[in-house]
Structure 1
Amino acid sequence: MNTDITNNSRAGEHQPRRARNIGLWVLQVALGAMIAGGGIAKLAGDPAMVDMFADIGAGQWLRYLVGTLEVAGGVGLFIPALAGLAGLGLVALLAGATITNRFVLEQSPWHPLAFLVVAAVIARALWSRTEAVVGTLLRR
């Protein structure tokens, strides 16, 4: 009888960790799909994206750069070893998008800000993995 209690308590300890991992994957898949989709629209020359970057005034090269970074970050969220690093990169990219929406385009910053928060949650949750990847790269 005591063995059953011990086994049940061990199984119960893994439950929150599994739920956390599932929740994190849901965030990664959702954010990755939305960000990569936006990047593809930019790279494909969606008229709304072309117009938006014309309004920004930095030139269409910025649209290609942002689109490429969005696709790379979105795909990176699907690769376990790179997901934390991709989340961190997206935090920086989305900070720029939030500032641009608010001060350059004079639009609501809430959409990119919400994505930034999700990217920050992912980056923080995977911080130890990110440190390991960066540490491996720096040792080479």
Structure 2
Amino acid sequence: MSAQTLATPAATTDRRTAVNITLWTIQVLLAAFLLIASAAPKFAGQRDAVETFRQIGWGQWLRYLTGTCEAAGAIGLLVPRLATPAAIGLIGLMIGAVLTQLLVLAPAWALLPAAYGVLFAIIAWYRREGFQTLVSRLRH
């Protein structure tokens, strides 16, 4: 049996469905994490968040900006046509988080935002078709 025989249209559809379900699960979990565990403490002025941004040394305005970007990205991950730009924006945020951990805070913790960045890149890649549809509709 050849590889072409195994790659039936039904198998391809099943694989796409599985990938889609997996991605939506990851997107929902990441959005929940970003809103509840990351942005909310920043907005609420949780002691740890305030202290972390004090250590960074750029002022508390950066805490609010970061929380806003996280919340907007989380919401964008849940909107099919906005998932790609949201994921790309969150990749940028994660690059900043990695650099901040490496250069200012605790270098070992840089692995966490790096891993999130990889997940956001996967989301951006697999959700690009919906974004391309949005762009083409905006052009017309």
Does structure 2 retain, via aligned residues, the 8 Å contact 1:31–1:118? Answer: no
1:57 aligns with 2:38: no
**Where in structure 2 are there 5+ consecutive unaligned residues?**
1-7
Judging changes above 3 Å, is the alpha-carbon distance between structure 1 residues 104 and 135 closer, same or farther for their aligned structure 2 residues?
Answer: farther
Does structure 1 retain, via aligned residues, the 8 Å contact 2:56–2:104? Answer: yes
Correspondence list, 1:117-128, <5 A: 117-128=118-129
Q: CA deviation at 1:11?
A: 3.1
Letter in 2 for 1:46: Q
Equivalent residue, structure 1, for 2:99: 99
**Where in structure 1 are there 5+ consecutive unaligned residues?**
1-8
Does structure 1 retain, via aligned residues, the 8 Å contact 2:76–2:83? Answer: yes
Q: Which has the larger radius of gyration?
A: 1
Mapped partners of 1:41, 1:99: distance in 2? 21
Tell me whether 127-136 or 81-90 shows the greater mean CA deviation: 127-136
- Percent identity, please: 40
Tell me whether 55-64 or 99-108 shows the greater mean CA deviation: 99-108
TM-score (norm 2): 0.86
Judging changes above 3 Å, is the alpha-carbon distance between structure 1 residues 135 and 52 closer, same or farther for their aligned structure 2 residues?
Answer: farther
Does structure 2 retain, via aligned residues, the 8 Å contact 1:91–1:116? Answer: yes
Equivalent residue, structure 1, for 2:4: none
Cα RMSD of the aligned pairs, angstroms, is 1.6
Does structure 2 retain, via aligned residues, the 8 Å contact 1:39–1:67? Answer: yes
Q: CA deviation at 1:29?
A: 0.9
Does structure 1 retain, via aligned residues, the 8 Å contact 2:80–2:127? Answer: no
**Secondary structure of the residue that 1:82 maps to in structure 2?**
helix
**Secondary structure of the residue that 1:99 maps to in structure 2?**
helix
Mapped partners of 2:86, 2:131: distance in 1? 9
Mapped partners of 1:26, 1:121: distance in 2? 13
**Secondary structure of the residue that 2:58 maps to in structure 1?**
coil
Tell me whether 48-57 or 128-137 shows the greater mean CA deviation: 128-137
